[in-house]
Structure 1
Amino acid sequence: MDHLIRDIRADEWEKAREIRLAALRDPVAHLAFLDTYGAAVERPDSFWRERAEASSGSGDGTVRQFVAEGPDRSWAGTITLLVERPSDEVRFGEPAKVDQTHVVGVYVRPEARGTGVIDALFRAGVEWSWALTDPVVERVRLYVHEENARAAAFYRRFGFTATGERVAVPGSDTAVEVEYELRRPGDPSGG
């Protein structure tokens, strides 16, 4: 893999917008994202600027977006992590019981799949999570649509395990998302 894994910079909002829109056009976007291309493409530039600022290294530290940047400076993939504390308002799923990070916005362009990009992005995200000191993160969690077998297989291969928690997909009467977690190494409750 010849990609540099790094966090985004605040001034890269246009590239962050472009990869998000590409993700939302992916054939399995309806299984992977709660957002839609139609809604995202209508958002003003100010939304994308604020989003990039918040998820960059210069943000407040509660969100971090990593990208896999190729030698030509194109972005092959991305992952975003949200810091969640038990006292926080719930964004999606069950309330946090411990200090944790929540993986969202995972996407790898089709031409980069199978090259190790996803593994490298997850390593960066998990390492960032374990390096946090305020709060000290006890687990990394994510949700995967019950029909997204490819993503679930990767998460298990990476070391995530299903917790048994399931939440309804907003806007669907039947679909559910399954929670997976990765516990901090050495954590007696599962790490």
Structure 2
Amino acid sequence: MGYLIRPVTADEWKKLKELRLAALADPVARVAFNETFEAAAGQPDEFWQRRASSLDEGGAALTFVGEAEDGSWGGMVVVLVERDKEVPQTHMVGVYVRPEHRGTGLARELFAAAIGWSWDLVDPVVERVRLWVHEENARAAGLYRSLGFVTTGRTIADPKNAAATEGEMVLTRG
């Protein structure tokens, strides 16, 4: 299956909302997100419009989607520019691939686009890409390692469950 990997445009906010809600409702993906389905579903249209148009408005976030040949969206990844860190970096969040698109290489394609975009930034010049992975999300951690991400040893408590942790992984510019 081939995908067109591209940024979301401002007028696609309804499709973005649908994909995000599908991610939050997915029982396998639940540990990967800090937002609940109920909270996201309760957001007004203006919230989703802003989320879809952040790059158009000079924002510090970009959502990449994998569009299948039939026009459906198989997955997404969001890249945030973190300007306030000692090391200029981007932060990957909102990684999701629909169940029927898992195992197709879509996640790798999404990451390639997001990482490439990160390395192409000139203000700031990004030195690394980071993400957090939940301790129960071994499949995602394996994917990230295969892409060159390494653990830093930093952990944080899962905001939804203080007894669980998330570990930081980084990819440094080569």
User: Separation in 2 of the partners of 1:18 and 1:142?
Assistant: 23
Residue 60 of structure 1 deviates from its aligned partner by 1.1
Residue 61 of structure 1 deviates from its aligned partner by 4.5
Secondary structure of 1:12 counterpart: helix
Secondary structure of 2:161 counterpart: coil
Which residues of structure 2 form unaligned runs of 5+?
none
The reply on whether 1:11 has 2:11 as its aligned counterpart is yes
Secondary structure of 2:27 counterpart: coil
User: Separation in 2 of the partners of 1:8 and 1:103?
Assistant: 15
1:115-130 correspondence to structure 2 within 5 Å:
115-130=104-119
The reply on whether 1:112 has 2:110 as its aligned counterpart is no
1:189 corresponds in structure 2 to none
1:25-174 correspondence to structure 2 within 5 Å:
25-54=25-54, 56=55, 58-85=56-83, 87=84, 96-174=85-163
User: Separation in 2 of the partners of 1:173 and 1:82?
Assistant: 24
CA contact (8 A) 2:29 2:96 kept: no
Residue 28 of structure 1 deviates from its aligned partner by 2.6
Which residues of structure 1 form unaligned runs of 5+?
88-95, 186-191
Which stretches of structure 1, 4 residues or longer, exceed 2 Å deviation after superposition? Answer: none
Q: Cα RMSD between the aligned structures? A: 1.0
TM-score of the superposed pair, with normalisation by structure 2? 0.97
Identity of aligned residues (%): 55
Deviations 1:156-188 (A, max 9, x none): 011100011101111423111100000001xxx
TM-score of the superposed pair, with normalisation by structure 1? 0.88
User: Separation in 2 of the partners of 1:70 and 1:29?
Assistant: 21
| Bigger strand share | 2
User: Separation in 2 of the partners of 1:59 and 1:125?
Assistant: 19
Secondary structure of 1:72 counterpart: coil
